[in-house]
Structure 1
């Protein structure tokens, strides 16, 4: 009886939520401008606001003239003051949390999350579920157990500010109505070693009625493989009532075939786009491609055409100025005190009514040793098309330039860990090269002009990427091996895993 009530209450809430969401979808462009001016008004007496003359900003254009695009290094002096407990620096108060993330040049990054910002992190995830329930006209998954594969929820304090991984912070805000159904246990969630943690999660969940599972694809694959190894059954056999997988963090498409094989049956998938800086988008229609951009969640967005990113005076476009099917570096201004902040993600609009995006790559993850500027979306789409023509299963891959080969012209080297190899690797390789040439005219010109030779494929042993991540102390957590590089730092470390 209780489950019946929960299911019907969830369905009622979901339909009401979706009706209310139609308003922000229709008025996104105007709401964005109003939001920016509201953020500026709130923060005009902060140190950052005084230094950037917020008192005299009354339009998007004036904001862009006075506030330059910033990365973490640019904001770090302000954040260091915030870390010492100083208020009124980037935002009016000290943050409620710091989301601690790993950085490359900056070491650990401390991303502020304000009291105003934290509810939107939770609301984004809730909205994703409500849209799914309303579209499906079913909330059956609330009857069973749900697992959220996430980081350690144990938080440290930095001058009184609670600090930890975003997924660990979010664990403290799971709604009460989901707590009784939630797995794994707090004790298991606090295990730091990722392999030990997944083994324990398998033990806790393998006999349960799992109906919803959430996590990034590499984590899910590791969890599913361990379940199958222990039980000798595909996931859908083990969890016959599994209805929904919620995923995010990376593009799901390259993992789809592998996931479908492990699942062994129909399970709905909804993709999300969360980050420490905010919850940006989710798949509001689980049957269609694209993520709905959340334009009413305390974040003002700007978009720099990817070909201009990093250049002086690069155009900063607003929501009303973007074009479909073009790649843009994503720039954020948030109600946690990030101002014109370059998050490093690249997005592509596929619809403007409402505004739906694809996450097409990272500004720092590309291959352009020869001027080709190949991005993640292009290589992932090329791989997808190739696998459709020459069936294979890909566990993971990494692309790096080989600038000084022992003989012949330079080339792109693809390090690929196959779960199942194609019948003819040469045909597969030629098709992959052709598919990439179709998607990147610069790469095509380099091949046609005999500047580059066709790509090379280096086959890697099973579990190569798992072992690589483990060797670098980057197993689990929010760590993901970049699929593209402009140098051979990762490639050189993958050499030992070649056949």
Structure 2
């Protein structure tokens, strides 16, 4: 009876929530302009605001003229002052938290999360659930157990400001109505070693009525494989009431076939786009591709055409200027005090009514040793089509250039861990090369002009990518291995691993 009441309450809440979201979906352009000026006004007296003449900013053009695009290194001197406990630097108040993330050039990054921003981190996830419930007209999952994957919820302090992984911070704000059904235990979530942690999660969940599981695809695959090894059954046999998987962090499509095999039968998937800097988007219709951009969550968005990103006079577009099916570097101004901040993600719009996006890559993750600038979306789409044409299953892959081969022309080298190899490996390779040529004209020109030879595939041993992640101390959590590189750092490790 209690479960019946909870399900009906969830349905009522979901429908009310959807009704409230109509305004931001239809008035996104106007709301975004108003939001920017409100953020500027709020931070007018901060150190950053004074240095960038916020008092004179009356329009978006004024903002662009006064505030250049910045990365973490640009904002680091301000963040260091905040870490020392100084207020009115980037935002009027000290942040409520620092989300600590790993950086490649900056070491650890400390991303401020203000008291104004924290509710939107939780609200984004709640909104994703409510949209799913309303679309499905079903909230059965609320009666079962749920996993919300997270890093350790144990937090440290820097001059009174708590810091830790974003997922660990969020754990302190999960609504009470979800707490009783939530797994794993607090003690298990505090385990730092990922392999030990996932073994404990399996023990705690394998006999439970799991109805919702969330995590990034590589983690889900590890978790599911351990369950299947223990029980000799597909996941939907172990968890017959599993209704929903919520995922984010990376594009789900390259993992879909592998996930479907492990699951055994269809389970609804909702994709999300969260980050330490904000909760940006989620799949508001689980039956269609595309993530609804959250334009009312304290974040003002700008979009730089990818081909111009990094140039001195790159265009900075707002929602009213963007075009469909074009790649843009995502630039953020947030209610935590990040100003024209380049997050490093690349998005493309597939709809403008409302605004829906795909995450198409990273500004720093591409292959362009020969000027081709191949991005993640292109390689993932090429691989998806090829896998469908030649029944195969892929666990993970990495693409790197081979500029100085022992013999012959240079080439793109794909390191692929196959779960199931195609019957005709050569035909698979030729089709993959053809599909990439269709999606990137520069790559096609290099092949047809005999600058490059067609791609080469190196097959990897099972668990190769897990072993690489472990070697880098990045196994589990929200860590992701770059799928594209412009050098051979990862490639050299994978080559060495394959020889062992």
- TM bucket, shorter chain: over 0.9
Separation of aligned partners in 1, 2:5 and 2:93: 41
How far apart are 1:5 and its partner, in Å?
A: 1.2
CA distance in 1, matches of 2:326, 2:391: 29
Instruction: Please report how far the alpha carbon of residue 4 of structure 1 lies from its aligned counterpart in structure 2 after TM superposition.
Output: 1.2
Partner Cα separation in structure 1 for residue 263 and residue 171 of structure 2? 26
User: Which SS does the other structure have where 2:492 is aligned?
Assistant: helix
Distance 1:180 1:51 in 2: 48
Q: For residues 435-461 of structure 1, what are the alpha-carbon distances to aligned partners after superposition, in whole Å with 9 as ceiling and x for unaligned?
A: 000000000000000000000000000
Asked if structure 2 preserves the Cα contact closer than 8 Å seen for 1:458 and 1:498, the reply is no
CA distance in 2, matches of 1:465, 1:417: 8
1:350-402, Cα deviation, whole Å (9 max, x unpaired) = 00000000000000000000000000000000000000111110000000000
For structure 1, which runs of at least 5 residues remain unmatched after alignment?
A: none
**Distance in 1 between the 2:249 and 2:224 partners?**
18
Matches within 5 A, 1:66-465: 66-465=66-465
Aligned residue pair count: 499
Do the aligned partners of 1:283 and 1:289 also contact (CA within 8 Å) in 2?
yes
Tell me by how many angstroms 1:266 deviates.
1.6
Aligned CA RMSD, in angstroms, stands at 0.6
Which digits, 9 at most, give the CA deviation of each residue in 1:198-255, with x for residues without a partner? 0000000000000000000000000000000011110000000000000000000000
Residue aligned with 1:272, SS: strand
Q: 1:13 deviation in Å?
A: 0.3
Question: What does residue 13 of structure 1 align with?
Answer: 13
Structure 2 stretches lacking a partner, 5+ long: none
CA distance in 2, matches of 1:86, 1:215: 35
Instruction: Quote the offset at 1:498 in angstroms.
Output: 2.6
Separation in 1, partners of 2:111, 2:358: 24
Moved over 4 A (4+): none
Structure-2 separation of matches of 1:265 and 1:392: 18
Residue 43 of structure 1: aligned partner: 43
- Deviation of 1:497 after TM superposition, in Å, equals 2.9
Is residue 485 of structure 2 the alignment partner of residue 482 of structure 1?
no
C-alpha separation in 1, matches of 2:97 and 2:155: 9
Instruction: String of CA shifts for 1:407-464, please: whole Å, max 9, x gaps.
Output: 0100000000000000011000000000000000000000000000000000000000
- 1:496 CA drift (Å): 2.1
Q: Hey, what's the Cα distance between the residues in 2 that align with 1:103 and 1:467?
A: 20
* Counterpart contact for 2:149–2:477, Cα < 8 Å: no
CA distance in 2, matches of 1:459, 1:176: 47
Quote the Cα distance in structure 2 between the aligned partners of 1:283 and 1:469: 28
Provide the rounded CA distance (Å) in 2 between the counterparts of 1:177 and 1:271: 22
Determine helix, strand or coil for the equivalent of 2:229: helix
Secondary structure of 2:423's match?
coil
Aligned counterparts of 1:337 and 1:4: Cα–Cα separation in 2: 43
How far apart in 2 are the matches of 1:16 and 1:252? 29
Structure 2 Cα separation of the partners of residues 322 and 462 of structure 1: 42
Q: Give me the whole-angstrom Cα distance separating, in 2, the residues matched to 1:496 and 1:221.
A: 24
Partner Cα distance (1:153, 1:450) in 2: 54
Query: What is the Cα deviation at residue 3 of structure 1?
Result: 1.2
